Structure 1
Amino acid sequence: MKIAIHNNNKAKSLKAVRYLRAELTKANFSFDQNHPDMVITVGGDGTLLSAFHRYYDQLDHVRFVGVHTGHLGFYTDWRDYELKELVRTLRVDSGQSVAYPLLDLTITYMDSQKPDHFLCLNEATIKRLGSTLRANVYIKDTFFESFRGDGLCISTPTGSTAYSKSLGGAVIQPRLEALQMTEIASINNRVYRTLSSPIIVASDENILVKPTIADDYVLTVDQFTLKHRPIKKLEYKIAKERIHFARYRHKHFWNRVERAFIGANHEDEN
């Protein structure tokens, strides 16, 4: 098994990486930062997102495992004080993994015939700087609504626990291959009217957004920002690719949600 370690530069993470690399070397693992079989991230969810985008073109054979060194991460299974146990687990690895759906985004520009294509683990958003976003929204190529507001967020099921949740979106079980669109401060009055509610779109449907002509759009793809190009349309759909996590500890999805957002697993005794 060839291993790559992807980490942030915080002192606690760097200390953990030194220890992890030493333990993996003693266990006779090889390292390959360019073409690994396993990517171990050390940091938090942001570090794992960064690793996903670095290795997005190798998803057919790469698995990910996360170690967190700060606040409890949603994607990370291991703590920095469990590295010796993690290495022991890797030595008896049998290839087990769990796969999550990804968001496929295609952006077509007014000033170019060549579209951009992205994969997202969490979400993609579109906003405008200093002005209202105006866009027509289509679902499965059928007109749905004319949106007016600050922006739109389209998320994956795993991304439903990230920015989408803060916008009032639902938390979606990742076994459901679906997209969720949540509105960001939509305008609703006698002139403009949107559904003003999160919508969940099936895996065989796409979301198409056609904004009005402008050159001040700000797009995000997970933690990356794209700015200032006139956009013709954006198409969102479930990607053919999936991300694979090496799950050595079976944690039910709702246990992860409870651990990340509630933090107290108490049953009502009454």
Structure 2
Amino acid sequence: MRYSIQSRGDDLSNDLAARAKQYLNDFGLVYDEKEPDIVLTIGGDGTLLHAFHRYRDRLADTAFVGVHTGHLGFYADWQPPEIEKLVISIAKHDYDVIEYPLLEVAIQYRNDMNDAVYLAMNESTVKSPDVTLVMDVELNGMPFERFRGDGLCVSTPSGSTAYNKSLGGAIIHPALPAMQLTEMASINNRVFRTVGSPLVLPAHHTCVLKPVKGPDFMVTVDHLHLLHKDVKTISYRVADERVRFARFRPFPFWKRVHDSFIDSDVR
């Protein structure tokens, strides 16, 4: 089996990464940064997000597992004292693979540039360089609303606990192939109206944003912040690709939600 390790870069994470690499090499596994079968991330959810984007072209062949060296994460479920136990399980191939839905982001331009296509594991947001974002929103090919406000967020189910939650969006179990559209400070008065509620769209639906004011937009894809100029449309759908996680033991989603947002004693 081929593996790679991605560390957050702090002393604790780097030390654990060195130990894990030595253990895995001793078990006969091959360190391969280009074509790993499994990627071990050590740090937190942000470290795993970076690894996901690094290996986005190998999602069908690569599984991820994370060790958290900070607060409890939604993706990184192992703790530093468990590193030897985890390494033994990897060496024995003693794990199942689960898959979570991803978000496809396609940006079409007014000029002759090719479309830019991204995959998001958590979410994508759109904001205007100006004060107010004005976008026509089409759902499944039908005009829905003209949005005015700070911005829009489209999230995956697994990403629904991240920025989406802070915007008042619903938490969605990642077993559901769906995406969620959430507003950022929409303008609602006697002249301008939006639905004012998060929308959960099934896998066979699309969400298309068409600029009304200004052709340039700040678009985020997880941790990536990108300025796109001369934009014609921004399209979202549940991606055909899925992210794969190596699961060595039960890691119930609702327990993660409870431990992260309700049980203050969990570290």
TM-score (norm 2): 0.96
Once the two structures are TM-superposed, the CA of residue 9 in structure 1 deviates from its matched residue by 1.1
Cα deviation per residue 1:70-116 (whole Å; 9 max; x = unaligned)?
11111012111211000111122155111000001100112334100
Once the two structures are TM-superposed, the CA of residue 27 in structure 1 deviates from its matched residue by 1.5
Counterpart of 1:68 in structure 2 is 68
Counterpart of 1:185 in structure 2 is 185
Once the two structures are TM-superposed, the CA of residue 156 in structure 1 deviates from its matched residue by 0.4
Once the two structures are TM-superposed, the CA of residue 261 in structure 1 deviates from its matched residue by 1.4
8 Å CA contact retained: 2:39, 2:63: yes
Counterpart of 2:101 in structure 1 is 101
Counterpart of 2:33 in structure 1 is 33
Counterpart of 1:139 in structure 2 is 139
Aligned partner of 2:101: which letter?
P
Once the two structures are TM-superposed, the CA of residue 215 in structure 1 deviates from its matched residue by 4.5
Bigger shift: 204-213 or 43-52? 204-213
Cα deviation per residue 1:100-152 (whole Å; 9 max; x = unaligned)?
00001100112334100001000000001242000000000100000000000
Cα deviation per residue 1:210-232 (whole Å; 9 max; x = unaligned)?
01252541110000011141211
Once the two structures are TM-superposed, the CA of residue 162 in structure 1 deviates from its matched residue by 0.5
8 Å CA contact retained: 2:63, 2:246: yes
Aligned partner of 2:68: which letter?
H
Once the two structures are TM-superposed, the CA of residue 264 in structure 1 deviates from its matched residue by 5.6
8 Å CA contact retained: 2:4, 2:33: yes
Once the two structures are TM-superposed, the CA of residue 187 in structure 1 deviates from its matched residue by 0.2
Q: How does 1:1-270 map to 2 (within 5 A)?
A: 1-94=1-94, 96-263=96-263
Runs of 4 or more, structure 1, over 6 Å off, are: none
8 Å CA contact retained: 1:38, 1:63: yes
Aligned partner of 1:87: which letter?
V
Cα distance in 2 for partners of 1:255, 1:17 equals 27
Cα distance in 2 for partners of 1:22, 1:228 equals 43
- Structure 2 unpaired stretches of 5+: none
RMSD, aligned α-carbons: 1.3
TM-score (norm 1): 0.95
- Structure 1 unpaired stretches of 5+: 266-270
Match of 2:233, SS state, is strand
Match of 2:76, SS state, is coil
8 Å CA contact retained: 1:258, 1:264: no
User: Percent of pairs identical after alignment?
Assistant: 45
